[in-house]
Amino acid sequence: MSPAPSRRAAADAAVREDDPIAERSPWPPVRHRAAVLSNRPVAEATWWLELDSPEIAAGSRPGQFLMIGFGTGNLDAPFLPRPFSVGWRSDDGRVGLLVRAFGTGTRRLARLREGDDALLLGPLGRPFRLEEGRPIQCVAGGVGLAPFLFLADEAASTGREVRLVYGERTGARVFDPDLIERLTGLRAEVWTEDGTVGRRGLVLDGIDLSDDPLLLGCGPGAMLRALAGLAAREGASLQVSVEEHMGCGVGTCQGCVVPRVGGGWARACVDGPVFDASELAWAP
């Protein structure tokens, strides 16, 4: 489900042969109004939003994000755009976002319907960095599933071994497993804390390090902290995509900083959102 060959060929020309998913997208960010193609509920308080954005679809790499808002002519909340992981892209230029209604901004996005439009800026940030021939294990908590829908589709298309472990608090919040499979070709291994869907337990209970996988994590801060601790104890390689509030997405507002090991701060929007877990200072 990659972009049209001409666009993909141009992007891939700028990518090192030994790094199939680049450190940054070779495509510069674009800002434009995108038409809403569909917006359907996929779980409790959760929607799958697809927009028409061939430029962002062509330039995005798994782990990158975009900012979505309504522009300066908008007189209703939210006034600032919101960051969302690029959750998927299609050959014909569609981009998929996973929206969960947490507050005013996300509730407004959930109300978007076919024919509406939104203002997009992207792709932004650093993507995941994969190692040739090494199995990949994606650990997703809640809407942290989004970047792994994209990554699983891209990685599987190159013959990589990918395992997707996905956790939610309750079965009502589980993203439609059949849609996950249609988007990625994978059947997610689902864990819920109440045991109403999939296996009962925390998502970290599903991790298997027996084949020395590259661990990739995205989800709530407490989950990432626990995952980083596990990786450190077991000597496992781990990259995390952090979820932080952002006002601009381009490094100006400093609203998304995270602490680095040894002191100082990193901006999640431009230094991340993907980091080696060992780079970050995790709160005890």
Q: In this predicted model, what pLDDT tens digit does every residue of 256-276 receive, in sequence order?
A: 999 999 999 999 999 999 999
Residue 201 lies in a domain: yes
User: Is the pLDDT at 190 greater than 70, yes or no?
Assistant: yes
Residue 10 lies in a domain: yes
Dist CA 28 CA 42 (whole Å): 31
Q: Band the pLDDT of 155: cuts 50, 70, 90.
A: confident
Looking at residue 156, its pLDDT comes to: 77
180 with 79, same domain: the answer is no
Dist CA 239 CA 63 (whole Å): 10
Residue 129 lies in a domain: no
119 with 171, same domain: the answer is no
Measure CA 202 to chain center.
Answer: 20
Boundary (domain end) residue, out of 124, 156, 189: 124
What is the CATH classification number for the domain harbouring 91? 2.40.30.10
Dist CA 198 CA 207 (whole Å): 15
The secondary structure of residue 126, as a DSSP letter, is B
Dist CA 270 CA 7 (whole Å): 24
Q: Give the pair of three-digit tokens for residue 114.
A: 């076919």
What is the CATH classification number for the domain harbouring 195? 3.40.50.80
* Number of domains within the chain: 2
Looking at residue 24, its pLDDT comes to: 52
Range of the domain at 38: 5-124
269 with 166, same domain: the answer is yes
105 with 187, same domain: the answer is no
Percent of the chain with pLDDT over 70: 88
Using the Cα atoms of residue 16, residue 18, residue 19 and residue 23 in order, give the sign of their dihedral. negative
Dist CA 167 CA 197 (whole Å): 10
33 with 89, same domain: the answer is yes
Residue 179 lies in a domain: yes
Cα angle value 142/147/149 (rounded, 5°) = 90
161 with 115, same domain: the answer is no
235 with 264, same domain: the answer is yes
Boundary (domain end) residue, out of 98, 124, 150: 124
Pairing of strands 94-100, 117-124: unpaired
Q: Give the pair of three-digit tokens for residue 26.
A: 């070779």
Residue 256 lies in a domain: yes
Nearest alpha carbon to residue 119 among 62, 74, 57, 166: 74
106 with 202, same domain: the answer is no
Nearest alpha carbon to residue 277 among 214, 188, 205: 214
172 with 270, same domain: the answer is yes
Between 260 and 76, the higher pLDDT residue: 260
156 with 258, same domain: the answer is yes
User: Is the pLDDT at 107 greater than 80, yes or no?
Assistant: yes
Boundary (domain end) residue, out of 62, 92, 124: 124
Q: Band the pLDDT of 11: cuts 50, 70, 90.
A: very low
- Give the phi and the psi of residue 106 in degrees, each rounded to 5: -70, -30
Q: In this predicted model, what pLDDT tens digit does every residue of 209-248 receive, in sequence order?
A: 999 999 999 999 999 999 999 999 999 999 999 999 898 9
- Give the phi and the psi of residue 147 in degrees, each rounded to 5: -65, -20
Residue 130 lies in a domain: no
Global pTM reads 0.89
101 with 153, same domain: the answer is no
Helix residue ranges per DSSP H, 119-167: 146-157
Dist CA 131 CA 151 (whole Å): 13
- Give the phi and the psi of residue 159 in degrees, each rounded to 5: 85, 15
Q: Band the pLDDT of 44: cuts 50, 70, 90.
A: very high
170 with 112, same domain: the answer is no
